[in-house]
Amino acid sequence: MNNFKKLSGLALMMAMAATSACQQNTKKPATETGDTTKNSKYLSQPLISNIYTADPSAHVFNGKIYIYPSHDIEAGIKENDNGDHFDMRDYHILSMDSIGGKVTDNGVALSVKDIPWAGRQLWAPDVAFKNGTYYLYFPVKDKNDVFKIGVATAKTPTGPFKAEAKPIEGSFSIDPAVFTDTDGSTYMYYGGIWGGQLQRWNNGKYDANGSKTDSGKENEPALTAKVAKLSKDMLSFDGTVKDVVILDAAGKPLLTKDHDRRFFEGAWMHKYNSKYYFTYSTGDTHFLASAIGDKPYGPFTYQGTFMNPVEGWTTHHSIVEIKGKWYIFYHDTQLSGKTHLRNVKVAELTHKADGTIALIEPMKK
């Protein structure tokens, strides 16, 4: 956790005030409370401050913006490379009519206690709408402490969601991101190394004693995200799970030792000018990076980083088009100054004339 940046004294005092507001869980949107935590060194301000939120997956349904974040809590667990300190127990869905408008916390949409197969740690979710139903995809550890991906359904975008009895067959690891292509096919991109356990899976088998990190095979192709097509009923994988292949400009796969560029977690897919943009976090080096391909399955060619490190260890995002403009939803730790108590934000994102994404600097210089 070497990149955790300390807040200045003033910012720390403001963060402490905000922390106690969060702990009171007053359920009032920051836009209504005259939030006192605004700090001009940040590109954007937290969207809400009544609860801690992270990993925002944003979508537009019926003209309204919905954000599906993780709900961070103080569980009192010491920070480690497994991510045990991220011990989240439910999801709250946020909504707003427009960027900059009032943000509503719609309350509990799904609890870990209502997922029959779940053990602990509800991590970054995503959602899709099809067949008149909203499908919420979520990673959670099962009762053997192995991350799997589950699905829950609702008739409205804010739920409450009802979980299926079992995880998606063949699923593992974390951070599902669900993308529906213009032909109606839906794909799930997922996976995360270290605490996300991807390095412990080999040929469909989980090794509970496997490595805690991706170190050891530095000159081999890096572990990468997975992609699976979803079945028509959206409840299972249709066909085999494939690797998301990320190649460098010379057509060679990124290597494990290439920590500035290789996939770590937090996959997202968006389509722009008929190209497929696979974007992700580099984890321990804290960048957001992009790779572009011609098909949803890839291969994808690495393009570079497009967002510099945020305050806090993790970086996780989504990209969505809203009324003809593109936005990135992301998180940092402005309100708490603590790695595991994050707050979601939004900023504009630009595709440059050459198709690459313009660099986003989350802290003002």
Mapping DSSP to helix (H, G, I), strand (E, B) and coil, where does residue 115 land? coil
Asked if 174 is part of the footprint of ligand FUB (rule: CB under 6 A), the reply reads yes
Which of residues 45, 173, 303, 314 is near ligand FUB by CB under 6 A? 314
Q: How far is the CB of 311 from ligand FUB (least distance, A)?
A: 13
Cβ partners under 8 Å of residue 34, min gap 6: none
Residue 273 near residue 280, CB atoms below 8 Å: no
Q: Number of residues interacting with ligand FUB: please give it, by CB under 6 A.
A: 13
Q: How far is the CB of 68 from ligand FUB (least distance, A)?
A: 12
Q: Which residues pair with 253 in a beta bridge?
A: 247
Instruction: At 23, give phi and psi (nearest 5°).
Output: -65, -30
Asked if 96 is part of the footprint of ligand FUB (rule: CB under 6 A), the reply reads no
Query: Which is closer to ligand FUB, CB of 14 or CB of 136?
Result: 136
| CA separation for the pair 284, 230 (Å, rounded) | 30
Query: Which is closer to ligand FUB, CB of 43 or CB of 225?
Result: 225
Cα 50 off chain centre by = 20
Asked if 141 is part of the footprint of ligand FUB (rule: CB under 6 A), the reply reads no
| CA separation for the pair 205, 216 (Å, rounded) | 19
Total length of the chain: 365
Asked if 265 is part of the footprint of ligand FUB (rule: CB under 6 A), the reply reads yes
Q: What is the DSSP letter of 357?
A: B
The 189-208 contact track toward ligand FUB, x by CB under 6 A, reads ---x----------------
Where do the H-state alpha helices sit in 25-130? 30-33
End-to-end CA distance of the chain: 23
Which residues are designated catalytic? 55, 265
Q: Which residues pair with 357 in a beta bridge?
A: 351
Which of residues 35, 105, 126, 175 is near ligand FUB by CB under 6 A? 175
Instruction: Report the b/e string of 201-239 with b at 16+ CB within 10 A.
Output: beeeeeeeeeeeebeeeeeebbbbbbbbbbeeebeebee
Query: Which is closer to ligand FUB, CB of 33 or CB of 111?
Result: 111
Token pair belonging to 244: 């998301």
Asked if 123 is part of the footprint of ligand FUB (rule: CB under 6 A), the reply reads yes
Q: How far is the CB of 105 from ligand FUB (least distance, A)?
A: 18
Which of residues 30, 37, 55, 305 is near ligand FUB by CB under 6 A? 55
Asked if 124 is part of the footprint of ligand FUB (rule: CB under 6 A), the reply reads yes
Q: How far is the CB of 122 from ligand FUB (least distance, A)?
A: 9
Q: How many CA atoms lie within 13 A of 356 on its CB side?
A: 14
Asked if 328 is part of the footprint of ligand FUB (rule: CB under 6 A), the reply reads no
Q: How far is the CB of 183 from ligand FUB (least distance, A)?
A: 28
Q: How far is the CB of 101 from ligand FUB (least distance, A)?
A: 25
Residues of this chain that bind ligand FUB (CB under 6 A): 54-55, 70, 86, 123-124, 174-175, 192, 265-266, 314, 316
